[in-house]
């Protein structure tokens, strides 16, 4: 039995082990064994089996060492001639990929061994992993090199083409949408793809190298170097997007700079920001996502994260500019800039939802809506501020000539421009805060028939405030007739503009009421200006003598008083101005009909008592034709005086 135990510890020789195994088989066939002897034989059999396994594995190690030396030689050659690492023309592509595959296979083989002598295996495994790391470092450098050297900046003329008015509603290519995007995203995409999406598909990287980049990415991912690959890609593409912002002349000002800057300086910067945001999202980000999909298409999470991480910081930084604008003090003069910003971002919202549809992009989607909400709040606040500004506009001196007040022109032109933003105003004037955010997705849907009414109500309220302010301004005139004249002029201007430019936003009843107001103001003006002069031409109430005639002295006084009143009106009201030519003529005709008819009747009646024409000229200074010419001189805005040079009746 001791001899058998000594065989169990034999080391190294395959022939000895084979002989021992034959002996064991023969002994096992014999029936002359005690239980102790059988137990010893079993232990010895296990020992021999282990030793046999060791020798078998050692043969595998020898084979691995040979493969290892071969791969090491190949990889070391890379360092001596780096130019062929990724140069298909020099036969480098397939050889180097094959070498990397062999390295991975060696590592897998070493990891599968379960030798008791682990030291040798661990040493080989450590060296193999170092070689793989070195190879990964080299192809990562090549990956970066290809990305950098094959960048294709967008030509300025292509940008100009993309900016044309009928092309700014961009359609994102189907290649930029994940297969697992939700139904809402797909629906948005379908709407977008109805437009000319091919006009906006540009190659940010030369298409000839896309296959190489994709191949490198797959190799690095299979070698568990996906993190390094993604980080390299994100870094390079982030720099490329940075350069695109520079080319678009978008200044990335911090909040402090935006808040301190005068609106006059911000004006041009905001316009560049709006233009740049459209190009950046419609063109750069859409094609950036397409590029990421092409290179990392088979790696879902990497495809998403590479695009999002490369672009998220920049888009959030651009949005912070909009947020900074939104918290500035309200300025009615700049409301349209804010509305342009709001409309610009609203147009981009469906694209942002598609581009950042993944969970990792939720922060961008949320921030986009927050900025829209704040800009919307700013618009609403500015609308209120505008009404307050109209209400509080104070004048210390009356407007010369009773013409159209600058405030009237400004307000009407302002609300006329607001109608260009009717869809947006309708939406914003009815939404607040969270309701605003939750309703953003419906902003671009078709409007109902009465959706303009919120804009109309706002315009009508502004005009009502304006008219109240004009009432206060009219009180600055000492002449009551000029007060009516001033209001008549301004209300006519309001109605004229409402008819031509605001008719679609104002109710018919409101227009009719305003026209009646003009008629009443005209009547008030004519009464205040011409009632006195017409009173001198009244026949009724003139005292007759006992003989049934009228005293020439009384008639002379009437004509003198009429002439003085006429000359005063002429001197005063030639300085008054009715800017609208048609309204000016209508007003002159209305005055002529009243005054000339009364003047002719009075002249005809008085001539009976003045002894014919020879005596009449002593009393009658102006003919009806003169009077007609005088009325035609009124409301030109140039003061004149009547002189004796005017023709007189002989």
Tell me the per-residue pLDDT of 601-626, one tens digit each, with 9 for 90 and over.
888 877 766 655 555 666 788 889 99
Residue 468: predicted pLDDT: 96
Question: Rounded to 5 degrees, what angle do the CA atoms 304, 310, 314 make?
Answer: 125
Residue 195: predicted pLDDT: 42
Q: Of the given ranges (105-119, 335-349, 395-409), which has the lowest mean pLDDT?
A: 105-119
Q: Of the given ranges (154-158, 370-374, 401-405), which has the lowest mean pLDDT?
A: 154-158
Pick from 542, 647, 534: which is nearest to 600 by CA? 534
**Residue 203 to residue 219: CA distance in whole angstroms:** 24
Residue 625: predicted pLDDT: 92
- CB 143, CB 229: distance < 8 Å: yes
pLDDT digits (tens, 9 = 90+) for 462-508: 999 999 999 999 999 999 999 999 999 999 999 999 888 887 778 88
Tokens 């409007």 sit on residue: 447
Query: Structure pTM?
Result: 0.74
Residue 71: predicted pLDDT: 62
To 10 degrees, what angle do helices 118-149 and 35-80 make?
30
Strand partners, 636: 577
pLDDT digits (tens, 9 = 90+) for 60-100: 556 666 666 666 666 666 555 555 445 555 444 556 667 77
**Residue 573 to residue 91: CA distance in whole angstroms:** 97
Q: Which long-range contacts (CB under 8 A, 24 or more apart) does 136-141 make?
A: 136/220, 136/223, 136/225, 136/228, 138/78, 138/79, 138/82, 138/85, 139/85, 139/86, 139/96, 139/100, 139/216, 139/219, 139/220, 140/220, 140/225, 140/228, 140/229, 140/232
**Residue 233 to residue 245: CA distance in whole angstroms:** 19
């Amino acid at each position: 039995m001791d001899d058998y135990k000594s065989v169990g510890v034999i080391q190294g020789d395959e022939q000895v082990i084979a002989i021992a195994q034959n002996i064991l088989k023969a002994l096992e066939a014999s029936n002359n064994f005690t239980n102790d002897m059988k137990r010893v034989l079993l232990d010895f059999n296990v020992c021999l089996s282990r030793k046999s396994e060791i020798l078998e594995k050692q043969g595998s190690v020898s084979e691995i060492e040979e493969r290892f030396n071969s791969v090491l030689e190949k990889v070391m050659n890379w360092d001596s001639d780096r130019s062929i690492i990724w140069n298909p023309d020099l036969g480098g592509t397939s050889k180097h990929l094959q070498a990397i595959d062999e390295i991975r296979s060696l590592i897998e083989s070493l990891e599968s061994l379960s030798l008791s002598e682990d030291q040798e295996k661990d040493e080989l495994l450590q060296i193999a992993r170092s070689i793989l790391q070195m190879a990964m470092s080299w192809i990562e450098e090549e990956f970066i090199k290809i990305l950098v050297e094959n960048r294709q900046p967008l030509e300025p003329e292509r940008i100009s083409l993309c900016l044309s008015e009928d092309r700014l509603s961009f359609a994102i290519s189907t290649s930029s949408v994940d297969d697992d995007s939700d139904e809402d995203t797909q629906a948005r995409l379908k709407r977008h793809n109805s437009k000319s999406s091919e006009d906006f598909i540009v190659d940010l990287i030369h298409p000839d190298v896309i296959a190489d980049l994709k191949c490198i990415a797959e190799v690095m991912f299979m070698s568990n170097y996906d993190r390094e690959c993604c980080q390299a890609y994100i870094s390079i593409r982030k720099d490329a997007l940075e350069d695109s912002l520079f080319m678009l002349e978008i200044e990335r000002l911090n909040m402090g700079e935006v808040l301190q800057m005068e609106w006059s300086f911000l004006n041009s910067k905001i316009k560049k920001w709006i233009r740049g945001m459209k190009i950046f999202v419609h063109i750069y980000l859409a094609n950036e996502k397409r590029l990421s999909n092409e290179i990392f298409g088979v790696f879902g999470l990497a495809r998403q994260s590479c695009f999002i991480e490369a672009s998220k910081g920049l888009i959030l930084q651009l949005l912070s500019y909009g947020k900074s604008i939104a918290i500035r003090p309200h300025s009615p003069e700049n409301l349209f800039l804010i509305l342009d910003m709001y409309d610009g971002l609203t147009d981009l919202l469906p694209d942002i939802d598609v581009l950042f549809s993944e969970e990792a992009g939720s922060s961008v989607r949320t921030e986009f809506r927050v900025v829209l909400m704040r800009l919307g709040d700013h618009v609403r606040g500015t609308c209120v501020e505008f009404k307050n500004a109209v209400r509080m506009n104070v004048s210390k001196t009356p407007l010369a000539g009773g013409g159209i007040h600058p405030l009237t022109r400004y307000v009407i032109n302002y609300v006329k421009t607001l109608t260009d933003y009717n869809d947006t105003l309708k939406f914003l004037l009815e939404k607040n805060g969270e309701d605003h955010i939750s309703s953003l997705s419906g902003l671009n849907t078709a409007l109902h028939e009465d959706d303009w009414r919120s804009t109309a109500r706002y315009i009508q309220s502004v005009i009502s405030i304006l008219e109240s302010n004009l009432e206060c301004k009219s009180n600055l005139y000492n002449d009551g007739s000029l007060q009516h004249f001033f209001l008549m002029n301004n209300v006519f201007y309001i109605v004229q503009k409402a008819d031509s430019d605001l008719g679609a936003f104002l109710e018919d009843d409101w227009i009719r009421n305003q026209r009646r107001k003009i008629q009443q103001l005209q009547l008030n003006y004519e009464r205040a200006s011409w009632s006195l002069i017409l009173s001198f031409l009244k026949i009724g109430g003139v005292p007759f003598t006992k003989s049934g005639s009228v005293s020439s002295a009384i008639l002379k006084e009437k004509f003198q008083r009429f002439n003085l009143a006429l000359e005063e009106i002429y001197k005063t009201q030639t300085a008054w101005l009715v800017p609208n030519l048609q309204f000016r003529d209508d007003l002159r005709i209305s005055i002529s009909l009243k005054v000339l008819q009364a003047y002719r009747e009075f002249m005809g009646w008085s001539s009976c008592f003045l002894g014919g024409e020879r005596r009449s000229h002593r009393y009658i200074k102006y003919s009806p034709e003169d009077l007609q010419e005088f009325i035609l001189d009124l409301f030109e805005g140039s003061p004149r005086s009547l002189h004796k040079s005017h023709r007189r009746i002989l």
